[in-house]
Structure 1
Amino acid sequence: MAFKETFKHDFYPFKNQAEIDRVRNITYEEIVAMNGKHPTNPNIQLDVIRNEEFENIMITDMLMRIIESDREDKKCVMIMCNPCPTYRKVAYMLKELGVNCRNVKFYMMDEWADEDGNIAPLSYKAGFGYAFNYFMVQHIKELGFKEENFIYHSNKTTPDFSKMLEQDGEADIVYSGPGWPGHLAFIDPVEDWFKPTMEEYLEQPAKVASLHPLTIAQNSLHGGFGFSGDISKVPPKGAMMGPRDAMKAKNVLDMHGITTAGSKVTWQRLTSRLCIFGQPSQEVPASILQLRDKPTHIIMSRNLAATIKEDDYFQY
């Protein structure tokens, strides 16, 4: 009896082996040959970006929108993703250019919560609100930014998060990127989110929900938790925007470029293919972006778009 090459794992959210096999076999050359077009959705622009220039796309998009909000004196509502030093670079450029940030409103995409659903306070150093305040907010107050326009998840704000977005006319832009279990924000493939139909799934607003074990494992390697695999440091739940917030946003910039400390090792390469090219499903939350009827820009670094193949001499 031949030994199998693929296996089923109860904890692994992706159950459709045929889809896994199909997207795994999509090569770098095939992705590049799409010439910026998504196979099924004309609203999606799909670009492969040099690894060294990947960050520039997000920086430029953020600067453009904030500068326009100043010049045209119009509100700009932005949903901001995970805590990254990129925001510090944006803040520096805004200061050097003298851009007034009076019209900008930042919504944090997600935040940590404990087992009882208590959302991490702004003082929690591994928190997303803390990091965004550290990298961005504190540097642009002198540019006219109003602190009340910094909307971070809390026990008070999360229940009304989606309603607040609706009152603001929905997000002008969502910056996103999938986690190991295919999450969008912290919308993981867990029972807290599953619905009988996709229509019901897509209507869900922001809330506190459990996290998938792969999300916890992934984040145990983040600098905020000591990048050492310490699972005990990572909270078991999160507060996050809902699928409705991503679907109603006027624009989405979805970024696929995470690697292990800049190496060619990445847990994201297969997940990204499932999110971008796989059948949209609740088991792959970020795949719902394929269903958007509004402008959606997906970018992959060359590293993430690279053909998936074995390497006998490479060790993790």
Structure 2
Amino acid sequence: MKTKSIITALFNRRQDEIDAFEHLYLDSLLKHADGNTQLILVDDCSPLRKETTQLLEKWKTDLEAKLGDVQILYNEENKGYAGSNNRGIEASDGSTIFLINPDIRLTNGALDSMADKLYRDESYGAIGPLSTNPADGSQRVMFKALNSYSEEEIKRIDDFAEKIRKSVPDQEKQANLITFFCCGLKKEVIKDVGPIDERFYPLFWEDLDYVVRIKKKGYKLMVDPQTFIYHGRLNNFNISYMLSHHLNWPFFKNMGKFLFKQGPAHLLKEYGRWATGLLTSSKNRYVGNEDVS
């Protein structure tokens, strides 16, 4: 069996981010990850580092009992999303690397399903799941945002994921792009493509740049249509969130870096849907069919 390494970069600024990390991410690891999984958490100088550390101390014993290998790394200076993930990749032992955001909820069998499909063909370089808030349509399904982290709301995620798993054929799909909220990559592909470009600081567009580089190396991007993963807190990431957290400047700054680096203007047309989707996604947006039957 291929070994798996989960890498998650943390930059907790608000209590709602810590709440999502605990009730979505950490809780789902205990329920749905397996003992063949290495977990590497990289705290990127979180403004709420004390609270983050206390939370990790609370969960670490259970995580180690479940997974075995749990590493918590602390950056001495802010490295941004790319730099933190690169540090995690360097520390990883798995043959399959999963880059996962701290505000997602894994579902039953998700990582195994994606890893299995990723290795069905040597040409496959990376794979992503279906989810609530990806920007590209190839990964997007309809699912109403959570109202709370109650057992009933969490069960709604798990039930929906199970419906998809049972109703969709066991067959991967090729995609034009995938984003890094939850992405599985072959370690050998990462070695071939190289590290994530840390010039996209502090975040945005580094994942699009990386999948372009993957494709330029001749690898394919895949989606696992049997796997659904919830992404987003109680309020999904959207333009209002960006403006209120002063993230609009790095978004557009790094978009310029992406276009300058990757060259001609047609790339903006090709990947512009990603930018438009991110900017216009909303709290209760319906983008598919939640009643999979």
TM-score higher than 0.5 here? no
- TM bucket normalised to smaller: 0.3 to 0.5
Which has a greater percent of strand?
Answer: 2
* Structure with the larger helix share: 2
